[in-house]
Amino acid sequence: MAEKKTIVAFAILIILVWIFAPGFFKFKELSQKNKELERKIQELKISNTGLIEETERLQHDLVYIEKVARERLSVAKEGEIIYKILSEEESPRD
């Protein structure tokens, strides 16, 4: 009789594992995805803060605006000559 109870208990255990295992693995997968998304959110928040600061500077800081215009747009003051130093990849090939 004890042997029959052991078999029944083992069968119930197998059925429970069969029922709950897929849900458990799905939970673990979603938990990992959630952690990755939280990390990505933090990265985007940091990036967003930097962009907001740069926007503020571009709207109000004349020295910064001039610096950006010179570096990114190659803007020069009247009478200035801009020299561009080419890297080996950019230099013309003979």
User: Which H, E and C letters describe 49-61, residue by residue?
Assistant: HHHHHHHHHHHHC
Total domains, the chain: 1
55-63, long-range: CB < 8 A, 24+ apart = none
In a domain, 79, yes or no: no
pLDDT of residue 71: 85
Residue matched to tokens 């952690």:
35
d(CA 88, CA 93): 9
Q: How many residues does the chain have?
A: 94
Tens of pLDDT, residue by residue, the chain (94 residues) = 778 888 888 888 888 888 888 888 999 999 999 999 999 999 999 999 999 999 999 999 999 999 998 888 888 888 888 787 888 777 676 5
Residue 46 domain boundaries = 2-73
Query: Is 80 among the domain residues?
Result: no
27/82 Cα distance (integer angstroms): 60
19 and 25 Cβ atoms separated by less than 8 Å: no
Check residue 54 and give its pLDDT: 95
Considering the domain boundaries, does residue 94 fall inside one? Answer: no
